[in-house]
């Protein structure tokens, strides 16, 4: 029977994406509908359709990774708008920021939101790293074919990318903070043995800080680093999938083994609801579905919505309370006194200050020791963490397990040292980087020459 | 297959390696070329030699030249030039007058970024700076008799230029 043209058009239309491909139900009426809400949906396809309650508890993950991702989203959205309004030229950069602050409708709010979200992201990404360490979530557990150490390394690179995004971002207003941060930052790069001068020349696009430098940092900030971080984010999420969800799933599987065994389940289907072939979730079937797993739609989606809304709300509220500062225009002649980096680099500024080593007539510049060597060793230690760990799979996915007490103690001491240096740099350094207690008054600045 | 055949390089392996190499070069060379294009060949920067003014225009003691970040000192007919760039991480040091009376002209240089301290002759004595401030050579311009600072040539501490 010949198909009528009308039917052909109808059939064709059915293949176009429908509204159902990007929307989902908040009130599934059956298991099937709950599964379909995630599995058949383009926007949600990267979530599991079933999840343990533990993985959604704020006491386990603190939702720090999710919050980082939402902050990255806020930064991308505000950043793209800011790109229309900012001019990356030495002559006009400062002026365009002033326009944002005083002439453009909602410009001040946009810029303040972008800045506060960046500050929050540095803090939250760092806390997320701490959470993953302290819960042993970088370790492989009992599920098969895991590679959680790889995801820890991806995360370390993402932390670095976050710091670099912040650094390149606060250079763009081309104010005093920007100019002296580039001066100090690229001189730290110069302290790298042998190739230091070359690195600095390449970063600056010359020997001096000028237009070449600004356009380099602009392209890094708007194109390279966000795209790189975005790609790493996708990989990070995909790995969590492949590793069978958050590390606490391993814990659930272990506890289940220890518990008196219920009648053996004969179910063989996977979380995706597909039986044919090996899928990403074959291994997760280790967790007894009926006892431990709940539908991601709507339980996970609801919590996710709350976290997203709260992150937006807190960022917007803070942006209204705390505006983004702008220092005097970049002036190579005068270094501000004291010249302070943003808080998240003050531990580094403190380190380069106190690490110049003198042995006899031989001097090792703090720029190298505190700026290159110690951060480099910290990074190497961070990368080596999965190899240094000797605890068993019982230490995976649980806070402060006894078998990792020593590792956690060392880790916390290092973190506290960094936080302490940051506090000293923020509150206890005055003119000429002299030490002052927070309650001490700084002397009046000496008359400028 | 005889034993000798096993030592022979296989045609297939050679072609496969050539192909892999060609693909690698096709992707790798453009990347190298792009990176190289970002190493500038022509720079538009301020000259490392500059005219600072006629000698008699300088007052006794230190004078700060903001554009090039140097201090030019005059002691009668003698001149010398000390860099204002901190040897630790490149911030501009500030001149601090320690003397409380007009007769006491003791000065020091302090850095606002990480607290390095230098004596009036540029010697580092506190803070993270690893070495003294640089001295630059001075000369007189043959055309108009101005002092010329040559920042490409550092000099020893105590280097003096007498007009």
**Which CATH architecture does the domain made up of B49-162 adopt?**
3-layer Sandwich (2.102)
As a whole number of angstroms, the distance between CA B31 and CA B40 comes to 16
* Residue A342 DSSP class: -
* Residue A329 DSSP class: B
Tens-digit pLDDT profile for residues B9-47 = 889 999 999 999 999 999 999 999 999 999 999 988 888
Count Cβ atoms below 10 Å from residue A40 Cβ, excluding itself. Answer: 14
Query: Hey, is the C-beta of A353 within 8 angstroms of any chain B C-beta?
Result: yes
Query: Hey, is the C-beta of B163 within 8 angstroms of any chain A C-beta?
Result: no
Residue pair A208/B45 in contact (Cβ under 8 Å)? The answer is: yes
What single string gives the DSSP state of each residue in A209-253?
-SHHHHHHHHHIIIIIHHHHHHHHHHHHHHHHHHTTSSTHHHHHH
> Which CA distances in Å does A198 have to A190, A201, A220?
8, 5, 18
Tens-digit pLDDT profile for residues A348-395 = 999 999 988 888 778 888 889 999 999 999 999 999 999 999 888 888
Tens-digit pLDDT profile for residues A269-316 = 555 544 444 444 444 457 777 778 899 888 999 999 999 999 999 999
Tens-digit pLDDT profile for residues A118-176 = 999 999 999 999 999 999 999 998 887 899 999 999 999 999 999 999 999 999 999 99
Query: Hey, is the C-beta of B113 within 8 angstroms of any chain A C-beta?
Result: yes
Tens-digit pLDDT profile for residues A63-79 = 999 999 999 999 999 99
Tens-digit pLDDT profile for residues A414-437 = 999 999 999 999 999 988 888 899
Note whether A366 contacts B45, CB cutoff 8 Å.
no
Helix (H) or strand (E) holding A188: helix A176-190
Tens-digit pLDDT profile for residues A191-222 = 999 999 999 999 999 988 999 999 999 999 99
Q: How many CA atoms lie within 13 A of A336 on its CB side?
A: 18
Q: Which domains does chain A have, with CATH numbers?
A: 30-334 (1.20.810.10)
Residue pair A256/A402 in contact (Cβ under 8 Å)? The answer is: no
Note whether B129 contacts A336, CB cutoff 8 Å.
no
Query: Hey, is the C-beta of A432 within 8 angstroms of any chain B C-beta?
Result: yes
Q: Which residues contact B65 (CB under 8 A, 6 or more apart)?
A: B52, B71, B72, B149
Q: Which residues contact A444 (CB under 8 A, 6 or more apart)?
A: none
Count Cβ atoms below 10 Å from residue A104 Cβ, excluding itself. Answer: 15
Q: Which residues of B touch A431 (CB under 8 A)?
A: 112
Residue pair B84/B71 in contact (Cβ under 8 Å)? The answer is: yes
Residue pair A204/A120 in contact (Cβ under 8 Å)? The answer is: no
Q: What are the beta bridge partners of residue B74?
A: B61, B79
A335: nearest CB among B46, B67, B112: B112
Compute φ and ψ for B54, nearest 5 degrees: -75, 140
ipTM comes to 0.85
pTM for this entry? 0.88
Q: Which residues contact A72 (CB under 8 A, 6 or more apart)?
A: A121, A229, A230, A233
């Amino acid at each position: 029977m010949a198909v009528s043209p009308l039917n052909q058009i109808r059939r064709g239309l059915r293949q176009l994406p429908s509204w159902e491909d990007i929307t989902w139900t908040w009130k599934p009426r059956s298991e099937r509908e709950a599964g379909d809400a995630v599995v058949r949906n383009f926007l949600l396809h990267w979530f599991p359709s079933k999840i343990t309650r533990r993985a959604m508890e704020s006491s386990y993950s603190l939702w720090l990774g999710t919050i980082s991702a939402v902050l990255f989203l806020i930064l991308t959205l505000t950043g793209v708008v800011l790109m229309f309004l900012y001019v990356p030229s030495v002559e006009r950069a400062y002026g365009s920021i002033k326009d944002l602050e005083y002439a453009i409708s909602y410009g001040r709010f946009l810029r303040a939101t972008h800045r506060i979200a960046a500050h929050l992201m540095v803090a939250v990404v760092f806390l997320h790293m701490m959470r993953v360490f302290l819960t042993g979530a970088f370790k492989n557990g009992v599920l098969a074919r895991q590679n959680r150490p790889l995801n820890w390394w991806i995360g370390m690179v993402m932390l670095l990318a976050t710091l670099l995004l912040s650094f390149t971002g606060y250079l763009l207003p081309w104010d005093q903070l920007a100019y002296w941060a580039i001066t100090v930052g690229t001189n730290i790069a110069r302290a790298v043995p042998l190739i230091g001068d070359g690195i600095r020349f390449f970063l600056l696009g010359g020997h001096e800080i000028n237009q070449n430098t600004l356009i380099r940092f602009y392209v890094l900030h708007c194109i390279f680093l966000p795209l790189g971080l975005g790609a790493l984010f996708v990989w990070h999420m995909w790995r969590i999938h492949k590793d069978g969800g958050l590390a606490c799933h391993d814990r659930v599987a272990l506890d289940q083994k220890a518990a008196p065994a219920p009648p053996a389940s004969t179910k063989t289907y996977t979380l995706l609801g597909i039986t044919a072939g090996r899928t990403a979730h074959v291994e997760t079937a280790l967790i007894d579905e009926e006892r431990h797993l709940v539908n991601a739609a709507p339980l996970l989606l609801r919590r996710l919505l709350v976290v997203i809304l709260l992150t937006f709300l807190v960022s917007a509220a803070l942006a209204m309370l705390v505006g983004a500062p702008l220092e005097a225009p970049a002036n190579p002649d005068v270094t501000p006194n004291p010249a302070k980096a943003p808080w998240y680099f003050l531990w580094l500024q403190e380190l380069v200050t106190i690490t110049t080593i003198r042995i006899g007539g031989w001097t090792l510049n703090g720029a190298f020791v505190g700026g290159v060597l110690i951060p480099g060793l910290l990074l190497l230690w961070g990368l080596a963490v999965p190899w240094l760990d000797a605890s068993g799979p019982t230490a995976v996915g649980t806070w402060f397990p006894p078998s990792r007490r020593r590792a956690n103690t060392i880790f916390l001491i290092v973190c506290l040292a960094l936080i302490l240096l940051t506090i000293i740099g923020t509150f206890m350094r005055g003119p000429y980087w002299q030490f002052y207690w927070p309650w001490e008054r700084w002397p009046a600045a000496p008359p400028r020459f | 297959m005889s034993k000798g055949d096993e030592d022979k390089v296989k045609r297939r392996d050679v072609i496969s390696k050539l192909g892999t190499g060609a693909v690698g070069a096709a992707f790798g060379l453009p990347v190298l070329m792009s990176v190289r294009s970002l190493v500038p060949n022509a720079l538009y920067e301020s000259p490392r030699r500059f005219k600072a003014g006629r000698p008699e225009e300088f007052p006794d003691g230190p004078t700060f030249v903001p554009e090039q970040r140097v201090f030019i000192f005059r002691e009668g007919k003698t001149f010398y030039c000390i860099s204002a760039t901190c040897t630790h991480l490149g911030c501009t040091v500030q001149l601090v007058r320690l003397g409380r009376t007009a007769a006491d002209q003791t000065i020091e240089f302090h850095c606002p970024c990480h607290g390095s301290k230098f004596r009036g002759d540029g010697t580092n004595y506190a803070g993270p700076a690893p070495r003294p401030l640089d001295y630059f050579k001075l000369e007189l311009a043959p055309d108009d008799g101005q002092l010329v600072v040559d920042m490409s040539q550092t000099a020893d501490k105590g280097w003096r230029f007498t007009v």
